[in-house]
């Protein structure tokens, strides 16, 4: 008696009805898999606009020069999107609750929707203050988080007041704290895994597109700079959209089982399921009963028939019985028990000319493969004989280690021979393709219009641009020769991997890209900056260039070509 005086019987009952954490998670995932499309649409119709608005607000307030002008309006719009999200998440939880209870959900009225929005906006408005403070204090965070999730799941169609919703949510938050904290721990670890997977996929996918399809995106052009705060915020938003439906469903199940301790809704749901199964199985049971009755009647008739026909079977002659047995044995189902026909077997052993030729080819190929395999075995044995061996070794483990080392050495020798053979074959092919008598003469591409602004530096190789520059110098067109030399510079830097030629890039963008990729080569960057300055002043400023200035420009351009080749 003394042991049970301090024990709360209500607490004992609650602990007895507690579901395990793994069972709650399994039921939540199973419930989401069986949920209708409309439930998921309700969730993402509410959550997706808020996540997009939050990402835009974060990016705009971080980088926009006019952020202070429209900060208030943007914050008000984000707050309205937050109320929109929490209201639709509550509708999603109501649909999950009806699916658990196997009830048909009806469309809400305007009064019910207004009450739902009012309750959720007032309750979750305090979450921005309560949850961060609880997280700093660490201990009360689990109960606070469970309260807000339960408040989302406790809405129904009874037009409850704010006090009723908060009271029911707080009761469910206090229920089963161990299960609640285990759920939080699992969701935290699972969220980190999903976040890392999404971040890696978002970063690797653009590089895979460039590697395999040649598609260049802002991620590949930015390099490591793509991993900015907006990138991480986007990954966090997508992670929330992936995990939060499971969280909402799990806490809806907690509230359902918590209230079922007093209402017995879980027992009623099981009884409904059993009644539905009984209705579905009633025709099957009836049909099985009828078939069983018919079978029993036919069995009785068969027994009487056997008794009645005993006298008739005694009159059948032996010859008739043998003929019937032979007919049965001639069926295909019993052919495997019959002896083989020797005559047909001999006919199969004497095939025609085509079959004989095919058989001869197969035999010769088999002999060839046997010979090659024997050569390989002889080669391996020859290599084994070349290996040093310790004849006095008696320890079996030591002998096993020596044999493993021999086999690895033989494998390395075989791989070395194969690599040398591949290297010799590729070198022979390269020399063969470089023979002057077999070289294929290719027509030189037509010279583009040097005055066209849409021309790209990678349309011609470097030597063609230099050749065009020499032609313009001979004609006295120093301005055109300077442009040809500048395009040759860009083409050489692109071939060296320091630039990526694109139509939309300006000269200053090429300069910044060179500074980023060749930051340790100050002489090259300084020379390219001088070339860009002179080129833009003469080409776009329509200034004439003297021969002395052109010679300095050509000398600087030649230095860049030498630096790029190095």
CB atoms near residue 526 (< 10 Å): 13
Distance CA 530, CA 518 (A): 16
Structure tokens at 60: 């705009």
Distance CA 205, CA 227 (A): 14
The owner of tokens 């070289």 is: 439
DSSP 84-110: HHHHHHHHHHHHHHHHHHT----PPPH
Asked whether the beta carbons of 487 and 465 are under 8 A apart, the reply is yes
Distance of CA 412 to the CA centre of its chain: 37
Structure tokens at 314: 């005694």
Among 539, 487, 546, 498, smallest CA distance to 520 is for 498
290 burial via Cβ count (<10 Å: 0-12, 13-18, 19+): exposed
Q: Which DSSP helix (H) or strand (E) runs through 457? A: none
Handedness of CA 51, 56, 62, 67 (dihedral sign): negative
Asked whether the beta carbons of 553 and 545 are under 8 A apart, the reply is yes
CB atoms near residue 236 (< 10 Å): 16
Distance CA 14, CA 256 (A): 13
Q: What's the pLDDT at 7? A: 46
Distance CA 458, CA 363 (A): 59
Structure tokens at 526: 């300084």
Q: What's the pLDDT at 440? A: 39
DSSP 512-528: HHHHHHSTT-HHHHHHH
Asked whether the beta carbons of 410 and 381 are under 8 A apart, the reply is no
Q: What's the pLDDT at 194? A: 92
Helix residue ranges per DSSP H, 309-352: 310-313, 318-329, 342-349
Q: What's the pLDDT at 236? A: 92
- pLDDT tens for 319-349 read 888 888 877 777 766 665 555 554 455 555 5
Q: Is the pTM of this model over 0.85?
A: no
Distance of CA 420 to the CA centre of its chain: 40
Q: What's the pLDDT at 153? A: 80
Residues 6 or more apart whose CB falls under 8 angstroms from that of 182 comprise 21
Q: What's the pLDDT at 239? A: 93
Asked whether the beta carbons of 486 and 531 are under 8 A apart, the reply is yes
pLDDT 10s digit of each residue in the chain, 566 long? 333 444 454 455 555 556 788 888 888 888 888 888 888 888 898 899 999 989 888 888 887 777 777 788 888 888 889 888 888 888 888 888 888 877 766 666 677 777 778 888 888 888 878 888 888 887 788 888 888 888 888 776 555 677 888 888 888 888 888 888 888 889 899 999 999 999 999 888 888 888 888 888 877 887 777 788 888 999 999 999 998 999 988 888 888 888 877 777 667 666 666 555 555 555 666 666 666 666 655 555 555 544 444 444 456 778 888 888 877 777 766 665 555 554 455 555 566 677 777 888 888 888 888 898 888 888 777 766 766 555 444 455 555 566 676 677 777 778 888 888 888 888 888 777 665 444 434 445 566 777 777 788 888 888 888 888 888 888 888 888 888 888 888 888 888 888 888 877 888 888 888 888 887 788 888 888 888 888 888 888 766 788 888 888 888 888 888 887 77
Handedness of CA 405, 408, 414, 420 (dihedral sign): negative
Asked whether the beta carbons of 17 and 261 are under 8 A apart, the reply is yes
Distance CA 215, CA 552 (A): 39
Q: What's the pLDDT at 2? A: 38
Please work out, in degrees rounded to the nearest 5, the angle formed at the alpha carbon of residue 294 by the alpha carbons of 293 and 298.
120
Residues 6 or more apart whose CB falls under 8 angstroms from that of 401 comprise none
Q: Which DSSP helix (H) or strand (E) runs through 177? A: helix 177-213
């Amino acid at each position: 008696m003394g042991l049970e005086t301090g024990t709360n019987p209500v607490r004992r009952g609650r602990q007895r009805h507690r579901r395990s954490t793994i069972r709650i998670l399994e039921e939540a995932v199973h419930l989401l898999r069986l949920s209708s499309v409309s439930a998921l649409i309700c969730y993402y119709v509410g959550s997706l606009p808020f996540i997009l608005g939050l990402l835009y607000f974060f990016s705009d307030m971080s980088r926009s020069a006019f952020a202070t002008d429209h900060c208030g309006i943007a914050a008000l719009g984000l707050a309205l999107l937050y109320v929109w999200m929490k209201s639709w998440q509550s509708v999603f939880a109501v649909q999950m609750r009806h699916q658990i209870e196997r009830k048909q959900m009806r469309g809400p009225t305007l009064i019910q929707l207004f009450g739902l929005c009012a309750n959720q906006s007032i309750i979750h408005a305090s979450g921005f203050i309560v949850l961060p403070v609880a997280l700093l204090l660490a201990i009360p965070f689990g109960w606070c988080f469970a309260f807000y999730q339960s408040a989302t799941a406790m809405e129904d169609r009874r037009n409850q007041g704010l006090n009723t919703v908060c009271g029911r949510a707080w009761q469910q938050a206090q229920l089963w704290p161990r299960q609640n904290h285990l759920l939080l721990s699992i969701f935290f670890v699972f969220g980190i895994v999903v976040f890392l997977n999404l971040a890696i996929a978002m970063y690797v996918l653009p590089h895979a597109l460039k590697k395999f399809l040649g598609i260049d995106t802002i991620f590949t052009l930015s390099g490591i700079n793509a991993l900015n705060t907006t990138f991480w915020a986007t990954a966090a938003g997508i992670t929330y959209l992936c995990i939060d439906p499971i969280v909402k469903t799990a806490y809806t199940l907690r509230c359902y089982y918590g209230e079922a301790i007093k209402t017995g809704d879980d027992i009623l749901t099981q009884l409904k399921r059993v009644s539905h199964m009984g209705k579905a199985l009633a025709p099957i049971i009836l049909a099985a009963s009828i078939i069983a009755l018919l079978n029993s009647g036919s069995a009785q008739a068969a027994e009487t028939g056997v008794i009645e026909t005993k006298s008739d079977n005694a009159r059948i002659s032996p010859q008739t019985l043998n003929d019937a047995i032979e007919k049965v044995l001639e069926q295909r189902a019993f052919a495997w028990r019959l002896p083989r026909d020797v005559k047909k077997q001999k006919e199969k052993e004497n095939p025609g000319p085509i079959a004989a030729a095919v058989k001869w080819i197969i035999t010769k190929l088999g002999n060839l493969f046997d010979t090659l395999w024997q050569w390989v075995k002889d080669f391996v044995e020859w290599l084994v004989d070349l290996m040093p061996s310790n004849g006095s070794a008696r320890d079996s483990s030591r002998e096993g280690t020596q044999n493993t080392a021999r086999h690895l050495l033989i494998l390395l020798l075989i791989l070395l021979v194969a690599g040398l053979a591949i290297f010799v074959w590729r070198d022979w092919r390269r020399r063969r393709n470089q023979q002057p008598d077999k070289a294929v003469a290719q027509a030189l591409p037509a010279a583009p219009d040097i005055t066209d602004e849409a021309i790209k530096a990678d349309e011609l190789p470097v030597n063609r641009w230099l050749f065009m520059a020499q032609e313009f110098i001979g004609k006295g067109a120093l301005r055109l020769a300077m442009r040809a030399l500048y395009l040759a510079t860009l083409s050489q830097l692109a071939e060296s991997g320091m630039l990526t030629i694109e139509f939309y890039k300006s000269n200053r963008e090429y300069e910044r890209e060179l500074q980023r990729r060749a930051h340790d080569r100050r002489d090259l960057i300084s020379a390219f900056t001088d070339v860009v300055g002179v080129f833009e002043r003469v080409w776009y400023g329509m200034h004439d260039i003297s021969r002395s200035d052109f010679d300095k420009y050509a000398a600087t351009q030649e230095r860049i070509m030498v630096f790029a080749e190095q």
